[in-house]
Amino acid sequence: MKRSNKPIFWALFGAGGMLSALVGPMLIFITGLAVPLGWLDRETMRYERVLAFAQSGAGKLAIVAVISLFLFHGCHRMYHCLHDFGIHVGRGLKAAFHGFAAAGTVAAIVLVLAV
């Protein structure tokens, strides 16, 4: 029986979907509505506080996890949406979708480590 790599990508898809469902709306609410409209104190998103968060180990891990899992979820969903629309893509486009997500993850890691 041939081994499959499908469980790895489905796990990344599921984790990204859960994270985007639970964390995504709150990120949008805080950064896009609550702070700009004054519902939360402007000190919440002060540069020094955000920088301190991004420089901490847990903050770096959280930033990379959000970016990486959102990318893998989105790319995997786009791949399967093409399949649902009747556009049967080969291994090359599948590799391109997952390669883009992997490249975005590597870029996020490099950029977060540079902070």
Q: What is the pLDDT along the chain (115 residues), one digit of tens a residue?
A: 788 878 888 888 888 889 889 999 999 999 999 999 999 998 889 999 999 999 999 999 999 999 999 999 999 899 888 888 888 888 888 889 999 999 999 999 999 999 9
- Number of helices (H) and strands (E), helices first, in the chain? 5, 0
Per DSSP, helices labelled H in 56-90 are 57-84
C-beta of residue 79 within 8 angstroms of C-beta of residue 15: no
End-to-end distance of the chain based on CA atoms, in angstroms? 46
Domain boundaries, the chain: 12-114
pTM for the full predicted model:
0.83
pLDDT computed for residue 12 by the predictor: 85
Its CATH architecture, for the domain 12-114, is Up-down Bundle (1.20)
